[in-house]
Amino acid sequence: MECPVCGGVLAPWGWARERVLRSGSGVVRLRPRRARCGGCRRSHVLLPVFVLVRRADFAEVIGAALAAKASGAGARTIAARLGKPVDTVRGWLRRFAGRAEQIRAYFTVLLVAAGVDPVPPAAAAGVFADAVSAVVGAWKAAVSRWPLVGEVSPWHLAVAVSHGRLLAPRWP
């Protein structure tokens, strides 16, 4: 693997602390690998593709909340449907809304680059919905070129291409 800081080679370097994550069906304990770069000597925690940086919920749960918001649902309705605290859901929605235009542009470029015959999504009700449509559209474009990508959710692809930082303080 390549170091995200300097491009050097990452080598195994033990394990990170255990994390307790919430999936749609319960609690999951995860102890991710840690790797160290031979070039810059920094260590990195290697999170799986279903986990966002600084989030305790699976990407599918957060993605379901984002898709529901794009469809017009409010934070309280989404929180009740997912069984999550309203403040948690509201935080996801605010973070995504704060960078929705960047996300839309990033995933639209990915859609065009990955698609065999790309068709950008039609304009939606707002920037938030456009960003969600771009994420799903990029996933569909990737599936058209690499069918095995269809075995993962659009939100796994979003985590992978954003390096887990889709809702992190800094966008990649």
- Residue 162 is encoded by which pair of tokens? 């954003």
- Kindly give, in sequence order, each residue whose CB lies less than 8 Å from that of residue 22, ignoring residues fewer than 6 positions away: 28, 56, 57, 58, 61, 84
Nearest one of 88, 119, 106 to 158, comparing CA atoms: 106
Per-residue pLDDT tens digits for 118-168: 777 777 789 999 999 999 999 999 999 999 988 999 999 999 999 899 998
pLDDT tens digit string along 93-103? 999 999 999 99
What are residue 35's DSSP bridge partners? 12, 44
pTM of the model: 0.89
